[in-house]
Structure 1
Amino acid sequence: MPPWVSSVVDVLQLAMNTAALVAGAFIWRLYVGNLKAALTARAAEISSVEKNRDFWKDKAQELEKRSPEFMERTLEERIQTRESEIIRLKDDKEINAESLTALQREKANIESDLLRTRGFRLMLALEEREEDDDMPQDHEIQVVFLGEVGVDSGMLMITDPCYIDDEWQGRLAHDGTPGDTPSRQVRSDPADDNAQALPPYSFRGACETTNPDGYGELGFKMGHAGAGVVFHTAWGDGAYPIYGELHDGRIIRAYINVR
């Protein structure tokens, strides 16, 4: 076979292959176009169906809203919502009430401390400090809080602790035996024959000496004064602060605020 025949055959095969590729591409393009058109038509159909469905759904909901059952259900939901709000507000009110009560209690305690502080300041104002030769004028007097004393009888007594064991004439003596509690004692003052009687150094005597003036003295077993001084508190029972004036490490004056 001549060489030019082989060349012609190769050219013809190349042309046929190219034509086949072009035809396949055209057919593929037509196929893809048909698919897109079908998908577009299907999407339009679905959209139309959805619109129709939404239309009838809205109609059904509108008709349902006009029914008594729907109104009852709506009202019940609103009632439940309001009840939940009422319960929440009630709980908040109780919490706020507890907080308010605590704040009021704290305020009352602060006001009580303020009254005690003012009372102590008034006591200091009533006392005129006299200059003492043993106390340098340039030495500062420090006011210190000594502590609190509890009161359950509405009275306080100032006494020397060493008298309690030997001079106390209350219901029980220091050894546990019943003590003698005379109603009155006579002041042993040889210079004064008209000396008044003193109540005994006991709780009964404290009640007697504070009636009716609210204060008084207690006598020793021998009859003379000095066992103790008793007085009523302004507010009855409670815990009362005691302050002292400290000078050079020593207590030179004490104040008991019984307000």
Structure 2
Amino acid sequence: MNHLGKFVFGALLSLSCAIPAQAADTLMMATTTSTQDSGLLEYVAPTFQKETGIDLKWVAVGTGKALEISKNCDADVLLVHAPDVEKKFIDDGYGIDRRQVMYNDFVIVGPKADPAKVAGKTTAEALKAIYDAKAGFVSRGDKSGTHSAELKLWKDSKLSPDKEPFYISAGQGMMATLAIAAEKGAYALTDRGTWIKYANKQGDANPLTIVVEGDSALFNQYSVITTNPKLCPNVKKDLAVKFEDWWVKPETQKLIENYKLEGKQLFFPNAGK
């Protein structure tokens, strides 16, 4: 190789070394605190990246805030759990392609002494007992999916506790809300996944226990939604489609089913149902 050839080869080699490797495609998701607090996202994200080559980033907030993030075009996809709010979000044109992926349920937790004597009651009976006893109740108060579900349960029970002294609006996530309920010896509504994680962390020091569960009114559905690219042109629709397809495929549904903590299943797959 002559001197000119060596110079060109060296220049090309230097240039190739200066060019960074192709970065992985990145997808931004807005989701609920329960999917993060339960540990589910850290469990599934590595598999998602390995199988799709997509680097999943997320912000975990209440469902109401997650929807606002999507409206502001700051998220490509959503993983949320407030069906009535989600359907309005889609009807208003902000989201497309909503698909159910999994469910768990809500439970009402409270002090082990159960001062309002709600154990074994239906949800409506329990809320009335808490209301009549003026027992403490801590609400998330953050427009999350859990908060929306709680407000609906009070409304269905024909009760309005929001101005009552015993009703505390935390304005925080589920873990913080449970901590406040524990501190104040109060009741709270929580998704079961986060409760299992919280109870496992607290161990024998946990002053709270489940007092109401198994009521059909406590069903908790999770779905994925793509931000509407017609309103948000920068949305990575092709990656969002891969994201949604991945969540509903049988292998991922089995992955969700297999996620357990202390032998307890936190989420139940129901794609296509």
Q: TM-score under structure 2 normalisation?
A: 0.23
Q: TM-score under structure 1 normalisation?
A: 0.23
Query: Greater relative contact order: 1 or 2 (C-alpha under 8 angstroms, separation 6 or more)?
Result: 2
Q: Give the structure with the larger strand fraction.
A: 2
